[in-house]
Amino acid sequence: DARVTQTPRHKVTEMGQEVTMRCQPILGHNTVFWYRQTMMQGLELLAYFRNRAPLDDSGMPKDRFSAEMPDATLATLKIQPSEPRDSAVYFCVVGGITEAFFGQGTRLTVV
Amino acid sequence: AQSVTQLDSQVPVFEEAPVELRCNYSSSVSVYLFWYVQYPNQGLQLLLKYLSGSTLVKGINGFEAEFNKSQTSFHLRKPSVHISDTAEYFCAVSGGGTSYGKLTFGQGTILTVHP
């Protein structure tokens, strides 16, 4: 959806490296979610923000994952250090209680 | 807490046949219900949503869904499918309370339309 731009689209990295995924929501959507999709677990909510404030990151492994929203048009999800089990597609989603718009996702492969 | 169960992981069907993808939900508060479609290597696209009002909701690509509060169901239907409908379909719920704004997804149903 044009409301959400995610970069990079694909990322291959070695175990132990830091990975940063970016999401640029169009102004006007004040809620940003990070979801992870895997074959085994389906779509899992990792964290979400409203008006740039973190509301819930209980789905995120705290020891290696961090999510921030430094301004209204940029959200980041970092993994440090990355592990093979982090291989998945990570989606940024913007919207609210009655609508949600997905980015194209970042396909992460950790080898 | 809210949850979504999609009762079929895979649904094969022949072209031009009708199809129903089943979804049940649970929630302790009022909910909003959604169906999304995902084509390979893409994000999810909204097919339709139920917010309030008429329990029969029409969406894009000829899909419709019926909200049944007593059975806590939101099944997706299409009277005649096309090859291009082959994709994965996700039912989702969002609601108020402590879950405000959070979308909870089912595990997905892979619809395969055969010629």
Which residues on chain A are in Cβ contact (under 8 Å) with B43? 1, 91, 102-105
Which DSSP symbol is given to A26? P
Which residues on chain B are in Cβ contact (under 8 Å) with A33? 102-103
What are the C-alpha distances in Å from A111 to residues A12, B17, B33?
Answer: 7, 43, 38
**Are the beta carbons of A102 and B106 separated by less than 8 Å?**
no
Name which of A97, A99, A101 to mutate to probe chain B: the one with the most chain B Cβ atoms within 10 A of its Cβ.
A97
Higher pLDDT, B99 or B83: B83
- pLDDT beyond 80 at A27: no
Closest Cβ–Cβ partner in A97, A101, A105 for B101: A97
Cβ–Cβ < 8 Å for A33, A103: no
Structure tokens that stand for B64 in this block: 């419709």
Sign of the C-alpha dihedral computed for residues B91, A58, A2 and A104 taken in this order: negative
CA distance B55 to chain A (A): 16
CA distance A105 to chain B (A): 6
Cβ–Cβ < 8 Å for A75, A66: no
Question: Could you tell me if A90 lies within 8 Å of chain B, comparing CB atoms?
Answer: no
* Rounded (10°) CA dihedral A48, A51, A53, A54: -10
Q: What pLDDT sits at residue B40?
A: 87
Q: What is the pLDDT of residues B25-83, one digit of tens each?
A: 987 777 899 999 999 888 899 999 999 889 999 999 999 999 999 999 999 999 999 99
Q: What pLDDT sits at residue B91?
A: 96
Cα–Cα dist B101/B79, whole Å? 32
DSSP letters spanning B8-33: -SEEEEETT--EEE-EEEE-SS-EEE
What strands, in cross-sheet order, belong to the sheet with A65-71?
A4-7, A19-25, A74-79, A65-71
Cα–Cα dist B46/B36, whole Å? 4
Q: How confident is the model at residue A1 (pLDDT cuts 50, 70, 90)?
A: low
CA distance B95 to chain A (A): 7
Structure tokens that stand for A51 in this block: 């008006």
- pLDDT beyond 90 at A35: yes
Least confident of B16-30, B53-67, B93-107: B93-107
- pLDDT beyond 70 at B97: no
Using alpha carbons, select from A111, A95, A92 the residue that is nearest to residue A103. A92
**Are the beta carbons of A1 and B45 separated by less than 8 Å?**
yes
Chain pair A-B, CB pairs under 8 angstroms: 53
**Are the beta carbons of A42 and B106 separated by less than 8 Å?**
yes
**Are the beta carbons of B49 and A93 separated by less than 8 Å?**
no
Specify the residue for token string 């302790």.
B28
- When computed from its CA atoms, the radius of gyration of chain A, rounded to whole angstroms, is 13
Q: What pLDDT sits at residue B96?
A: 62
Q: What is the pLDDT of residues A62-105, one digit of tens each?
A: 899 999 998 888 999 999 999 999 999 999 998 877 778 899 99
Higher pLDDT, A8 or A57: A8
